[in-house]
Amino acid sequence: QVQLVESGGGLVQAGGSLRLSCAASGGGFSTYAMGWFRQASGKEREFVAAISRSGSPTRYADSVKGRFTISRDNAKNTVYLHMNSLKPEDTAVYYCAKKYSPSDPNVYIRDHSYEYWGQGTQVTVSS
């Protein structure tokens, strides 16, 4: 059974940092491209960052570029989102997702490209 479990969310002051983790089960982690999305209250889900199955390339939303870093450890079946210089507008539920991508090096920024989703972790940034 494919499962994605996010962790690492919480309450942080503006300017602070958090590291989100997403642990995957179900096998074949290195054949999946991964992505992070977020959904703020009352808003649509939006793309945050994506990483190819090998770890390069990566892609970021303009709103987080230079502040967030996505990475993965295929040996640990885990993808990370390092978030620095957090702003109140980063407050949202953050979701990780995976897309089966066994033979291409692509990253995917559209949520409908992804097949599996985690349950989400809340990030709240206070001003």
The CA-atom distances, in angstroms, between 113 and each of 73, 82, 121 are 22, 23, 21
pLDDT 10s digit of each residue in the chain, 127 long? 669 999 999 999 999 999 999 999 988 999 999 999 999 999 999 999 999 999 999 999 999 999 999 999 999 999 999 999 999 999 999 999 999 999 888 999 999 999 999 999 999 999 9
Q: What count of other Cβ atoms lies within 10 Å of the Cβ of residue 23?
A: 16
For residue 15, the surrounding DSSP H or E stretch is: none
Look at the block and give the residue holding tokens 């290195």: 30
d(CA 29, CA 92): 26
CA distance 122 to 57: 27
- pLDDT given for residue 40 in this prediction: 98
